[in-house]
Amino acid sequence: MGQQDRLPVGRGPKSPAGWFRRWYGAQPLHLLALLAAFALAGYAVRDMVGAGQWFGFVIWFAVAIVGHDLLLFPLYSLADLSLRRLLPAPSRRPARSAGPPVVNYIRVPGAFSLLLLLVWFPLILGLSAHAYHRASGLAESPYLGRWLAVTGVLFAVSAASYALALRRRASRARRASRHRHRFH
Amino acid sequence: MSPPGRAGPGQGRQPPGPFRPRFWRSPLRGQWLTSVLGLVLLGGLSVMAVTGLLSYASYDPRLPGNDETSGAGLLHFYLFSWPTDPAWLYRVNQGVHVTLGVALVPVVLAKLWSVLPRLFSWPPVRSPAHLLERISLIMVVGGVLFEMATGIMDIQNWYVFPFSFYTAHLYGAWVFIAGLVIHVILKFPRMLAGLRSRSLRRELRTPLDQTQPEDPDPAGLRAARPAPPTISRRGLLAAVGGGSLLLAGLMVGQSIGGWTRRTALFAPRGLSAARPGTLPVNRTAADIGLTDAEVGPAYRLTLVGARQVTLTRAQVAALPQHSAVLPIACVEGWSASATWAGVRLADLARMAGISHPAGARVESLERHGSFKAASLSGAQVNDPQALLALRVNGADLPRDHGYPARVIIPAAPGVHNTKWVSKIVFQ
């Protein structure tokens, strides 16, 4: 999007190609390539019509887009914004003196944990326990415990690396102050 | 509200909120970041498309009853008969398709995050070309989300969608491929320009306190009013890559098998299926309602060819036995290797009076379900490793693995290795 205003003009504004460009907003090849793509996609949807399943197919396409753009994205943005608001102000700023920004030591394990949940929530929440057991002979019950355990490990590793970062910073600061002491 | 110097044409008329460029604050959005994520997806999603279409081809859909997608149009093209060599072909194809598909989730989310302000660009349509391009984005964005959602739900047996998985995942893929090809054609020059706009090496050396917003770009991906950064650009890329590695690392053991299966905490046939002396399955004897009578002394195997032969299990066991180390691999991505022993399918064809079989139809004791029968190609029936197996890993087949007898064929999809075989018709 937005490319069309920068495409080479080639012909004068009075020529048919120039008229087309002004009306359409891009060169004719742009239109032909898009029509070819629409034809292929339309052919695939036609086969879904043939299979008698096009309605659910189209609805799920729409739900996938709306679900991501207008539900998942606002939710995770809001969660991130709330996290940053809840934290003490200095850690939000990348100020050199304020210590490592704690926000990322919460964000990253939190994001990893939610990512695992996003992909595996049918197993974790036991939503398909019956069909899964029929197919595999296995139970979905272990997955919730595993998710909680992995989440715990992720936050523990993050806390440990935050502690290490704090220590490194403190010892650097001590060295710097000894250095200053010696030379002033 | 906006300072007078910034107000461009039409600025006052755009609706509030996300439709105003100043709404978007992240200092990391920009053409370089979007281009890096786009390049990773260009590679990753191309592999997904190729392995996905190979997965369709592996069912040998031209053979009677094998096409699960209930169509017969131009998109059902058959370029080749699925090979039996190398035996790991299907296992690797599905392992890559499913593991990579899950590992790409964070990359897709990051890429969509990086361009999300464009969804709210104002005016929504500037020209017919712009309108068509936005429609094509429905194909690529809707396509990738649809394919990921249906694939991820299918491997967890969460069948809440109102369509056949095979049909919808294949045609959804074609809609997506059409969208992806046009998206790449239209955006490739811009991606190259974006990649050239910053040095990857320098970004990887830039800590948070030196992270600056990117330069403004023609698409307006960079925020008009960037906030101070809270994470470096390399930090964001590391988090995205780390998310991919975490997802892949906690599931790939279900495809590699052996001791690595115990490391697969989040995989449908990972740690839970890692019980000594057992192999994973995707249909149990209980599921198909198999009765003791059907697999007891009354069990008969019927071979049909130039003549019809009926055998008891003991008679089959008395035929020349061969063994083969072959993987059993599921379309859902998990697999396991085992030593199978039984009678060659080609030997059974000769018993039925067919010396050069051109194919076979194998039927199961199952009464319902898509895979109660499968058609095999001539190459599959004639392969010396293609067996009607009676034993696995030195013991009789467990009932969940198809006792009294099951088919095992090198490189065939798991569902074509028919279990509880009752009848084989050779052509």
Pick the last residue of a domain from B230, B249, B268: B249
C-alpha closest to that of B140 among B105, B176, B101: B176
B254, part of any domain: no
What per-residue string of b and e applies to B299-320 under the rule 16 or more CB within 10 Å gives b?
bebebbbeeeeebebeebbebe
* B200 and B337 share one domain: no
Per-residue pLDDT at B70: 65
Q: What is the SS3 assignment for B418?
A: coil
B71 vs A30, A51, A116: nearest CB: A51
Window from B65-69, B71-75, B127-131, B282-286 with minimum mean pLDDT? B71-75
Pick the last residue of a domain from B225, B249, B273: B249
* B295 and B244 share one domain: no
B255, part of any domain: no
* B218 and B291 share one domain: no
Q: What is the SS3 assignment for B241?
A: helix
User: Helix (H) and strand (E) counts for chain A?
Assistant: 8, 0
* B180 and B232 share one domain: yes
* Residue whose entry in the numeric block shows the structure tokens 């995770």: A76
B232, part of any domain: yes
Query: Rounded CA gap, B399 and B381, in Å?
Result: 24
End-to-end CA distance of chain A: 60
Residue B6 has pLDDT above 50, yes or no: no
B3, part of any domain: no
% of chain A surpassing 90 pLDDT: 66
B331, part of any domain: yes
ipTM confidence score: 0.94
Window from A62-76, A164-178, B175-189 with minimum mean pLDDT? A164-178
Return the structure tokens found at B196: 């050239």
CA distances from A50 to A42, B71, B176 (A): 12, 7, 19
Mean pLDDT along residues B271-278: 90
Largest CA distance in chain B: 92
B261, part of any domain: no
User: Is residue B40 a contact partner of residue B82, using CB atoms and an 8 Å limit?
Assistant: no
- In the A/B pair of chains, how many CB contacts fall below 8 A? 240
Name the residue type at position A137.
G
B65, part of any domain: yes
At A182, the pLDDT band (50, 70, 90 cuts) reads: low
Q: Judge residue B332's burial from the number of C-beta atoms within 10 Å of its C-beta, 0-12 exposed, 13-18 middle, 19 or more buried.
A: buried
Return the structure tokens found at B236: 């964001």
Strands B387-392 and B373-377: unpaired
Provide the domain limits for residue B238. Answer: 14-249
How far is CA B182 from its chain centroid? 22
* B155 and B226 share one domain: yes
C-alpha closest to that of B329 among B415, B268, B420, B414: B414
The model's pTM: 0.93
The domain total for chain B is: 2
Interface of B with A in 156-195 (CB under 8 A): 156-159, 161-164, 167-168, 171-172, 174-175, 177-179, 181-182, 185-186, 189-190
Per-residue pLDDT at B302: 98
Mean pLDDT along residues B107-124: 96
Per-residue pLDDT at A175: 87
* B29 and B122 share one domain: yes
B157 vs A6, A101, A135: nearest CB: A135
* B374 and B307 share one domain: yes
Asked if B186 and A33 come within 8 Å (Cβ–Cβ), the reply is yes
* B295 and B400 share one domain: yes
User: Is residue B331 a contact partner of residue B339, using CB atoms and an 8 Å limit?
Assistant: no
C-alpha closest to that of B56 among B31, B88, B80: B80
For CA atoms A165, A167, A172, A177, the dihedral sign is: positive
What per-residue string of b and e applies to A15-51 under the rule 16 or more CB within 10 Å gives b?
eeeeeebeebbbbeebbebbeebbebbebbbebbeeb
CATH code: domain of residue B411: 3.90.420.10
Between A48 and B186, the higher pLDDT residue: B186
Average pLDDT, rounded, for chain A: 87
Residues of A in contact with B175 (CB under 8 A): 41, 44-45, 61
A17 shares contact with chain B (CB less than 8 Å)? no
For CA atoms A113, A117, A123, A125, the dihedral sign is: positive
A115 vs B146, B175, B243: nearest CB: B243
B142 vs A56, A61, A111: nearest CB: A61
Query: Rounded CA gap, B108 and B110, in Å?
Result: 5
B152, part of any domain: yes
Asked if A41 and B127 come within 8 Å (Cβ–Cβ), the reply is no
Query: Rounded CA gap, B342 and B320, in Å?
Result: 8
Return the structure tokens found at B251: 């599931």
User: Quick one: which H or E segment has residue B282?
Assistant: none
Q: What is the pLDDT of residues A49-79, one digit of tens each?
A: 888 888 999 999 999 999 999 999 999 999 9
